[in-house]
Amino acid sequence: MDEEPGHRPEPLASRISRRIRSTGAITFAEFMRMALYDEDGGYYRRERDRIGTRPGTDFFTAYSTGTVFADLVSTAATNLLGFEAAADHVWVELGVDRQGSLWETAPAPFRDLIARGYGQPTSLPRKAVLFSNELFDAQPFHRVRFHRGSWREAGITTGAEPGRFRETVLEELSPPCAAWIHHLPEDAPENHTVDLPIGAAELLESLAGGTWNGLFLAFDYGKSSEQLLHEHPQGTLRGYSRHRQTSSILNDPGERDITGHICWDWMREILDRHGFSGIELLGQEAFFVRHAADAIERIIARNPGLPDPDRQRLHQLIHPGNMGQKFQVLSARRK
């Protein structure tokens, strides 16, 4: 967005406060949407490096392993489609950060490359591979709490100090929340909290609802419905800043990442409803071992007997103590 010389946008916290004073408490999803994606201050709109190990970055992802991750992913996709079929598909990379795509050109043997950043619209080609890494966990969540016999939606209002915010209880459920509340049991312990990944479900609906055919490939972290309900009584949302996790996610909007676990059951149901088959959810380690074994063998065989940085990156991606079990991969095919 162009700015006049000497003009600075109003701080995001001030604009959120003004919005609340004007309309009343907002949903948690609206707060998260502004904190992450506001054009003039959202976390993912700011011109700064977020990913990596350098000073000033906030978190480490598979993208930090560069060409090793790219090789494993494209090899797995080729094996899932078959080499000849893959050559007819366009590689569509979603959720690309400002540091850029994993690929400068389309990975072989795919026909072309389309790379889109967070929130950027894209028209999908007729045959495509939709690939994303930690995209769905960065979509807005709605937060609900069981209060006095029913599920109530948590909202955000202003705090005691300027630029500070606190949770409150909304008078009624927002329409998106009301449409998904049937996924929850009728009874729960008092103040039991569930962070509903409705934004992730809405994004997948918009992607899967198109007329394209091909492969869906999402690397992310999530849980089943039962796990989200019973293993996380205070919800799953947390913030990340300077490689530190915090539960303080309302302070300093735009300055930190906000993320939570998506619901794999919801994702699988959406894909099934839109005609996808072969729907498979695997840990990242198991996915690469099953579908990219040839790439793993190539990496291991390089520079035998010598230290090799690519083997170290491979270890980071597939070892259970690193990313191998922390992340999962949801894949599906539509012909």
What is the pLDDT, as a whole number, of residue 320?
A: 81
Confidence tier at 323 by pLDDT (50, 70, 90): confident
Is 57 a domain residue?
A: no
Statement to judge: residues 87 and 134 lie in one domain: yes
Place of tokens 């929130």: 119
What is the pLDDT, as a whole number, of residue 7?
A: 57
- 165-224 pLDDT, tens digit each: 999 999 999 999 999 998 899 999 999 999 999 999 999 999 999 899 999 999 999 999
Q: Do residues 86 and 106 make contact, with C-beta atoms less than 8 angstroms apart?
A: no
What's the number of domains the chain is made of? 2
Statement to judge: residues 158 and 274 lie in one domain: no
> How many whole angstroms from its chain centre is CA 290?
23
Statement to judge: residues 73 and 156 lie in one domain: no
Domain limits for position 93: 62-139+198-221+261-334
Confidence tier at 13 by pLDDT (50, 70, 90): very high
Q: Do residues 330 and 264 make contact, with C-beta atoms less than 8 angstroms apart?
A: yes
Query: What percent of the chain shows pLDDT beyond 90?
Result: 68
Is 178 a domain residue?
A: yes
3-state secondary structure the chain: CCCCCCCCCCCHHHHHHHHHHHHCCEEHHHHHHHHHHCCCCCHHHCCCCCECCCCCCCECCHHHHCHHHHHHHHHHHHHHHCHHHHCCCEEEEEEECCCCCCCCCCCCCCCEEEEEECCCCCCCCCEEEEEEECCHHHCCCEEEEEECCEEEEEEEEECCCCCCEEEEECCCCCHHHHHHHHHCCCCCCCCCEEEECHHHHHHHHHHHCCCCEEEEEEEECEECHHHHHHCCCECCCEEEECCEEECCCCCCCCCCEEECCEEHHHHHHHHHHCCCEEEEEEEHHHHHHHHCHHHHHHHHHCCCCCCCHHHHHHHHHHCHHHHHCCCEEEEEEEC
Statement to judge: residues 119 and 102 lie in one domain: yes
The overall pTM is greater than 0.85:
yes
- 212-242 pLDDT, tens digit each: 999 999 999 999 999 999 999 999 999 987 7
**Per-residue pLDDT at 265 exceeds 80:** yes
Q: Do residues 113 and 42 make contact, with C-beta atoms less than 8 angstroms apart?
A: no
Is 56 a domain residue?
A: no
- 140-168 pLDDT, tens digit each: 999 999 999 999 999 999 988 877 999 99
Token pair of 299, please?
């990496």
Statement to judge: residues 97 and 216 lie in one domain: yes
Is 212 a domain residue?
A: yes
Is 118 a domain residue?
A: yes
Statement to judge: residues 161 and 287 lie in one domain: no
What is the pLDDT, as a whole number, of residue 6?
A: 53
Statement to judge: residues 130 and 80 lie in one domain: yes
Is 229 a domain residue?
A: no
Statement to judge: residues 310 and 214 lie in one domain: yes
Place of tokens 């991750």: 69
Is 55 a domain residue?
A: no
Statement to judge: residues 112 and 160 lie in one domain: no
Q: Which amino acid is at 33?
A: R
Statement to judge: residues 33 and 172 lie in one domain: yes
Is 6 a domain residue?
A: no
**Per-residue pLDDT at 330 exceeds 70:** yes
**Per-residue pLDDT at 139 exceeds 50:** yes
What is the pLDDT, as a whole number, of residue 133?
A: 93
Statement to judge: residues 170 and 241 lie in one domain: yes
Q: What is the CATH number of the domain that holds 325?
A: 3.40.50.12710
Statement to judge: residues 160 and 202 lie in one domain: no
Which of 119, 267, 140 shows the shortest CA–CA distance to 196? 140
